[in-house]
């Protein structure tokens, strides 16, 4: 009795794993909040600023939640980038981490600190130096290109 090639079952397994990767939220991993304009997310940001002000007394005033991530735990952790203005009216961004467990009406401000400054844009890559050597596009290049599919097939068949 002949046995089938392991390539097809392996391919189907990889396809199934890739399809399963796109759905659902992974417990413990942070995921981007798709709609930070959601009233609940904005209310969480305002609540975080109020809690911070009650502890620090610095007079911050909530403006909006600019972005955020969420993490499924025994409830939900929210890492929110909150824009708030100080008493002098200048606005700044802060990172607030809020833990919420809706079924027990638990809400806790885990941390609140200024957001890190954005990294400067990378400098453009320098243009390649001109060279007198011609590019390799002859028979050596063609030989290496046509062997790649063969090598891939050989590797897959010898799994």
pLDDT for the residue 99: 98
Produce one character per residue of 55-87: b if its CB has 16 or more CB atoms within 10 Å, e if not: eeeeebebbebebbebbeeeeebbbbbbbbeee
pLDDT for the residue 13: 46
pLDDT for the residue 117: 83
Query: Which parts of the chain sit beneath pLDDT 50?
Result: 1, 12-23
Other CB atoms within a 10 A radius of the CB of residue 117 amount to 7
pLDDT for the residue 28: 74
pLDDT for the residue 76: 97
């Amino acid at each position: 009795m002949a046995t089938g090639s392991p390539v097809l079952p392996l391919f189907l397994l990889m396809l199934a794993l890739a399809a399963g990767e796109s759905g659902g939220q992974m417990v413990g991993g942070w995921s981007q909040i798709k709609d930070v304009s959601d009233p609940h997310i904005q209310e969480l940001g305002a609540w975080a600023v109020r809690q911070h002000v009650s502890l620090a007394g610095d007079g911050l005033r909530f403006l909006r939640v600019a972005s955020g991530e969420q993490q499924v735990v025994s409830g939900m952790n929210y890492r929110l980038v909150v824009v708030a203005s100080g008493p002098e009216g200048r606005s700044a961004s802060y990172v607030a981490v809020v833990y919420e467990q809706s079924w027990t009406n638990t809400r806790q401000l885990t941390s609140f600190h200024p957001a890190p400054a954005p990294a400067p844009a990378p400098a453009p890559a320098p243009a390649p130096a001109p060279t007198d050597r011609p590019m390799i596009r002859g028979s050596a290049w063609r030989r290496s290109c046509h062997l790649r599919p063969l090598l891939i097939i050989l590797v897959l068949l010898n799994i």
